[in-house]
Amino acid sequence: MDITKVIDVPMKDIKLQGSNVRSDLDSPNSKENLLELAQNIKVNGLLQPIVLRGDNGKPPYDVIVGQRRYLAHKELGAETIKATFSGEIDNMNALLLSLSENMCRQEMNYEDTQTAITTLYKNYGNDERKVQAATGFSIRMIRSYVRIEEQATEKIKDLLKKGLSMADAKRAIDAAQGDKDKADALIDEIAKLTTYEKKRLVESSTKNQKASVDELVKEAKKSKWEETIVLNLPMEISNAVRKATEKLSIDAEQLAMDVLVTWLKTNDFLLEANG
Amino acid sequence: MDDSKVNAATARVLLSTKRKSRQYSLFEIATDILFLKNETGGIKNVVKLIGISSGMLNQFLSVLKLPTEIIQLINQRKIESVSMAHHLSKFNRDDSIQLAQMVINESLTSQELRSILTYRRKFQSEPIKDVVKRVLDSKNIKVSVIRFSDSNLKIDLSELSAKISKLIGEENFLTIVKSNKNIDLKITPVGEKKLREIAKSQKISFQEFINKLLK
Comparing CB atoms, the residue among B140, B142, B208 nearest residue A196 is B140
Q: What is the pLDDT along chain B (215 residues), one digit of tens a residue?
A: 667 888 888 888 887 776 666 788 999 999 999 999 888 878 888 888 888 888 889 999 999 999 999 999 999 999 989 999 999 999 999 999 999 999 998 778 899 999 999 999 999 999 999 999 999 999 998 899 988 878 777 788 889 999 999 999 999 999 998 877 888 899 999 999 999 999 989 988 788 888 888 88
Determine contact: A3 vs chain B, CB below 8 A.
Answer: no
From the list A194, A224, A238, the residue facing B205 with the nearest CB is A238
| Residue pair A21/A102 in contact by the 8 Å Cβ criterion | yes
B144-213: same fold as B3-137? no
Q: Cα distance from B90 to chain A (closest Cα, Å)?
A: 15
Best to test chain A binding among B57, B124, B138, B173 (most A CBs inside 10 Å): B138
Residues of B within 8 A of A226 (CB-CB) are 140-143
Does B146 reach chain A within 8 Å, measured CB to CB? Answer: yes
**Does residue A13 surpass a pLDDT of 70?**
yes
Once rounded to an integer, what is the mean pLDDT over residues A105-119? 77
In the structure, what pLDDT confidence band is assigned to residue A254 with cuts at 50, 70 and 90?
Answer: confident
> What's this model's pTM, rounded to 2 decimal places?
0.67
Band of pLDDT at residue A103, cut at 50, 70 and 90: low
A103 and A13 inside one domain: yes
Give CA–CA dist A112/A119, Å, rounded.
11
Of A73, A108, A143, the one marking the end of a domain is A108
CATH number for the domain formed by residue range(s) B3-137: 1.10.10.2830
A 233-252: CB under 8 A from B: 233-235, 238
User: In this structure, are residues A161 and A189 in contact, taking their beta carbons and an 8 Å threshold?
Assistant: no
A182 and A198 inside one domain: yes
Searching chain B, which residue's CA lies closest to the CA of residue A104?
A: B44
Total number of domains in chain A: 3
**pLDDT reported for residue A50:** 86
Note the pLDDT tens digit of each residue in B102-147.
Answer: 999 877 889 999 999 999 999 999 999 999 999 999 999 889 998 8
Note whether A188 and A239 are same-domain residues.
no
Is A120 within a domain? Answer: no
| Residue A149 distance to chain B (closest CA, Å) | 24
Partner residue opposite A229 with nearest CB, options B119, B147, B208: B147
Q: Are the beta carbons of B143 and A191 separated by less than 8 Å? A: no
Q: Give yes or no: residues A160 and A221 share one domain.
A: yes
Amino acid identity, residue A268? D
Q: Name the band, by pLDDT with cuts 50, 70 and 90, for residue A47.
A: low
CATH number of B144-213: 3.30.70
Q: What is the pLDDT of residues A115-153, one digit of tens each?
A: 888 988 998 899 999 888 877 788 888 999 999 999 999
Q: Where among A207, A227, A247 does a domain terminate? A: A227
Q: Which residue range is the domain that position A80 belongs to?
A: 7-108
A12/A101 same-domain check: yes
CATH of the domain at A69: 3.90.1530.10
Please name the amino acid found at residue A233: L
CB contact under 8 A, B145 and A229: yes
Task: Give the bridge partners for B177, in sequence order.
Answer: B184
Give yes or no: residues A88 and A164 share one domain.
no
Residue A157 has pLDDT above 80, yes or no: yes
A90 inside domain: yes
Residues 6+ apart with CB under 8 A from B208: A235, B199
* Closest chain B residue to the Cα of A230, Cα to Cα: B146
Task: Tell me the CA distances in angstroms from B99 to A77, B28, B40, B89, one per residue in order.
Answer: 46, 22, 35, 11
Facing residues of A207 across strands?
A: none
The pLDDT mean for chain A works out to 83
Calculate mean pLDDT across residues A2-29.
73
Q: Has residue A179 been placed in a domain? A: yes
User: Is residue A133 in a domain?
Assistant: no
B3 in contact with A at a CB cutoff of 8 Å?
Answer: no
Mean pLDDT of A146-170: 92
Q: In this structure, is the dihedral angle defined by the CA atoms of residues A97, A103, A107 and A113, taken in order, positive or negative?
A: positive
- A207 shares a domain with A253: no
- Angstroms from A147 CA to nearest CA on chain B: 23
Is any Cβ of chain B less than 8 angstroms from the Cβ of A218? Answer: no
Q: What angle do CA B61, B62, B68 make, to 5 degrees?
A: 110
Residues in chain A: 275
Output the DSSP codes for A122-177: HHTTT-HHHHHHHH---HHHHHHHHHHHHH--HHHHHHHHTT--HHHHHHHHHHHT
Spatial contact of A136 and A115, defined as CB atoms under 8 Å apart: no
Domain end residue (candidates: A108, A139, A169): A108
Domain ranges, ordered by start, for chain B: 3-137, 144-213
A50-72 pLDDT per residue, tens: 888 888 888 888 888 888 889 88
Nearest CA in chain A to B188: A227
- Averaged pLDDT for residues A238-250: 83
Please tell me if residue B141 touches chain A, with a CB cutoff of 8 Å.
yes
CB spacing of A195 vs B114 below 8 angstroms: yes
**Chain A residue with minimal CA distance to B186?**
A227
Work out the pLDDT band at A273, boundaries 50, 70, 90: very low
Residue A25 placed within a domain:
yes
Q: Looking at the domain assignment, is residue A137 inside a domain?
A: no
Whether ipTM > 0.95 holds is: no
Peptide bond into A60 cis (omega under 30): yes
A199 with A157, same domain: the answer is yes
Closest CA to A232 of B143, B199, B165: B199
User: Is residue A117 in a domain?
Assistant: no
Please state the separation of Cα A47 from the chain's center in Å.
29
Q: Is pLDDT at A201 greater than 80 in this prediction?
A: yes
